Amino acid sequence: MRKLKILRQFMKGNLIKYFFAILFSGVAVIFSIISPMVISFTIDSVVGTEPMNLPTWISNYVVKIGGRDALRENIWIVGLVFVLLTALTGIFQYIKNRWFAVTTEKSTKNIRDTLYDSLQHMEYYEHVKSQTGDLTQRSTADVETMRKFMANQVTQVGEILFTVVFTLIVMINLNVKLTLYSLCVIPFIFIASIIFFTKVKKVFHEVEQADSELHTTLQESLTGVRVVKAFARQTYEMDRFKEKNGNLKKEVRKLNELMAWYWSMSDLLCMTQAMIVLFISVSWAATGQITLGTLILFVAYIRNLIWPIRQLGRVISDMGQAFVAFDRIIEILEKPLEPKDIQGLTPEIKGNIVFENVSFHYPDGTCPLKDISFEVKQGQTVGVLGPTGCGKTSLMHLLVRLFDFQKGSIKMDGYEINEIDKKWLRSNVGIVLQEPFLFSKSVVDNIKMSNPEASINEIEKATKIAAIHDSILSFEKGYDTLVGERGVTLSGGQVQRVAIARTVLNNHPVLIFDDSLSAVDMETDIMIRQALSERSKGVTTFIISHRINTLAQSDFIIVIDKGTIVQKGTHEELVLEDGLYSRIWNIQSSVEEQEGVNT
């Protein structure tokens, strides 16, 4: 029931039209059942001598124009009526198809937009837990399955039901016994098609499996072509590919063989049914029990029945997929969301931050932080150092409320951070991520993302700070250069610098650099930091880095290991202290020390 409610939500505004479309498919079916009657009527009662067995209002009309004789003389009239009836069928079919398309496409757009919106507003941890591929799969393939359900399967089932019901009514009216003969094989066709299409899914799945294995092998071998060549492993790769290729061939052939059996055997059943009807009706028509026209009608109607019913199994087994797909879509929609509208405090943020006994871990217990306490005054720069792991990054995530901590308190200018509205907080705390993401649009559009109203002047100022302005100009299309998916056309260092420009485009009172200078060379690193410190007087800054040199000028440095602050102080203090900081300093400065001796 809940599912129905959600579906109704998606189809809002389109439901009435959708039902009319179903209704019209019934009307089209009725006309398509009537039109063969024109032929049988012509054969029996116009060119033949059977009595006209017509509804009164039509026979009144026929009498008015002169009865059978007039029809015999102007036999084109029945031809025209036949064409007109077909045209009517066509018109209703057209309206039905068009309305189905309009309603389902509109509803599909709703589903897509709603999903996208949910994905954007989903709690960040839900994204951490999920796999990109899975979410994308649900948003694309599953939505497509739903679309097909609304656009094709409901239509087909509706049409088949209308056809079966209306045809049966007409057939029973014509001849009950012949109708029964017409139905003797049909149930078997139906059952066979259901069984087959349910069973064949497993084989389909195996084909997909083989196909995706081939895909992976291909992808790996082609992207790793340098490795393949450098290790002279072409033959090895060819053998590996040959195996996957052969496997795919085998699986597809297996599926094809099953298909060959099913289609031929179900054809046999269908043709047998048609033959039985022909056989009986020929014998009866020869002995005068039915008219020739009735025979022609039955031969036509039996086709109406057998071919759709053979398809029904497929449609029904596909519908099962639609329900699964719908469940998977609903699962996304039901994940916890961050509020879309401002909910919470929106104080002016200056950049005084106090951590007090903050403890945090992911809901699954990983990435713990324990009893973190320190204080940052407006305009100070804090360096953060620590071994690879998630401690440093989660600390920064807390500052933009990608996560909320479990214990303790973080105060931003005196306000408890958890009470400040998330979006408000994020527009005040600028963060350059460890693995920055560029979207596949132009460089300038990427930079403008943080401030769509920024002027060209402001953008250039930002790119100059990030030391990327000249590189951008050196591209053929300059600022209009398109960034490939995940920024593949730019080098790692360039991506980081574009991301820095994007963040510093806004004048945030708090700035975080989450190891975001790692792919930039030392010289540029220094240039960027100098430019920043000139512009960002009064901005509270956090810098996470593995390079001591990057951290050395900070007002103070905190060293995080295994989730706790193990050291805190200025560079000069920490160098003299026995601990992680001085150990790393010693490794990194060994170069310089030796150099000092030499010069």
Partner 1 sequence: MGNNTFQEEVFSKGFNMALWRKMLKYAKPYKNKLIVLSLFMAMLAGFDAVIPLMQRYAIDNFIVMGSTTGTTIFFIGYAVIIVIQTLIIKAMISYAGHVETGICYDIREDGFNHLQELSFSYYDTTPVGWMMSRLTSDIWRLGSTLAWGLVDFAWGICMMLVTSVVMLVLDWKLALLTFTVIPLLFVISIFFQKRILFNHRDIRKTNSLITAAFNEGIQGVKTTKTLVREEGSLDDFKKITGEMKRKSISAATFAAIYMPIVILLGSIGAGIVLWRGGTNLMVGTLSYGTLAAFITYALQFFYPIRDMARIFTDLQSAQASAERIMSLLETEPDILDNTEVLKENGFNDEENWPEIKGNVVFEDVTFAYKTGEKVLEHFNLSVKAGENIALVGDTGSGKSTIVNIACRFYEPTGGKILIDEHDYTQMPMQWLYSNLGYVLQSPHLFSGTIKENILYGKLDASDDEILRASKLVNLHDIVMKMEKGYDTKVGEGGSLLSTGEKQLVSFARAIVSDPAIFVLDEATSSVDTETEFLIQDAISNILENRTSFVIAHRLSTIRSSDRILVIREGKIVEQGTHQQLLENKGHYAKLYTNQYSMQLD
Report the alpha-carbon angle 177-181-185, nearest 5: 155
Structure tokens at 476: 């053929």
User: 191 vs 488, which CB is nearer to partner 1?
Assistant: 488
Stretch that binds partner 1, among 8-16, 155-163, 287-295, 565-573 (CB under 8 A): 287-295
Interaction of residue 70 with partner 1, rule CB under 8 A: no
x/- letters, 331..350, toward partner 1 (CB under 8 A): -------x-x----------
For residue 186, give the nearest of 316, 276, 281, 319 by alpha carbon: 276
Pick from 33, 78, 189, 543 the residue near partner 1 by CB under 8 A. Answer: 78
Stretch that binds partner 1, among 11-19, 78-86, 159-167, 193-201 (CB under 8 A): 78-86
Interaction of residue 91 with partner 1, rule CB under 8 A: yes
Report the distance separating Cα 182 and Cα 298, nearest Å. 8
Interaction of residue 391 with partner 1, rule CB under 8 A: no
Q: Nearest approach, Cβ of 361 to partner 1 (angstroms)? A: 19
Interaction of residue 216 with partner 1, rule CB under 8 A: yes
For residue 425, give the nearest of 352, 344, 501 by alpha carbon: 344
User: 556 vs 581, which CB is nearer to partner 1?
Assistant: 581
Residue 520 main-chain phi, psi, to 5 deg = -100, 140
Burial 108-128 (b: 16+ CB within 10 A, else e): bebbeebbeebbeebbebbee
Locate tokens 């709690």: which residue? 123
Report the distance separating Cα 332 and Cα 330, nearest Å. 5
Interaction of residue 11 with partner 1, rule CB under 8 A: no
Stretch that binds partner 1, among 344-352, 406-414, 485-493, 534-542 (CB under 8 A): 485-493
What residues between 393 and 412 interact with partner 1 by CB under 8 A?
400, 402
x/- letters, 117..156, toward partner 1 (CB under 8 A): x-xxxx-x--x----x--xx--xx----------x-----
Residue 230 main-chain phi, psi, to 5 deg = -65, -30
225-229 long-range CB contacts below 8 Å, 24 or more apart? none
Stretch that binds partner 1, among 56-64, 219-227, 306-314, 406-414 (CB under 8 A): 219-227
State how far the alpha carbon of 358 is from the alpha carbons of 138, 344, 410, in Å: 37, 21, 7
Interaction of residue 554 with partner 1, rule CB under 8 A: no
Interaction of residue 263 with partner 1, rule CB under 8 A: yes
Report the distance separating Cα 269 and Cα 257, nearest Å. 18
Pick from 357, 439, 473, 577 the residue near partner 1 by CB under 8 A. Answer: 439
Q: Nearest approach, Cβ of 102 to partner 1 (angstroms)? A: 6
Interaction of residue 388 with partner 1, rule CB under 8 A: yes
Q: Nearest approach, Cβ of 11 to partner 1 (angstroms)? A: 14
Pick from 208, 236, 331, 473 the residue near partner 1 by CB under 8 A. Answer: 236
Cα 312 → chain centroid = 28
Interaction of residue 578 with partner 1, rule CB under 8 A: no
User: 356 vs 546, which CB is nearer to partner 1?
Assistant: 546
Interaction of residue 158 with partner 1, rule CB under 8 A: no
How many Cβ atoms sit within 10 Å of the Cβ of residue 335?
16
User: 95 vs 157, which CB is nearer to partner 1?
Assistant: 95
Interaction of residue 311 with partner 1, rule CB under 8 A: no
**What one-character-per-residue DSSP string does 162-212 give?**
HHHHHHHHHHHHH-HHHHHHHTSSHHHHHHHHHHHHHHHHHHHHHHHHHHH
Structure tokens at 308: 């759709």
Stretch that binds partner 1, among 53-61, 177-185, 247-255, 316-324 (CB under 8 A): 247-255
360-368 long-range CB contacts below 8 Å, 24 or more apart? 360/394, 360/398, 360/403, 360/405, 360/406, 360/407, 361/406, 362/125, 362/128, 362/394, 362/403, 363/125, 364/129, 366/390, 367/391, 367/394, 367/563, 368/563
Interaction of residue 323 with partner 1, rule CB under 8 A: no
Interaction of residue 526 with partner 1, rule CB under 8 A: yes
Interaction of residue 260 with partner 1, rule CB under 8 A: yes
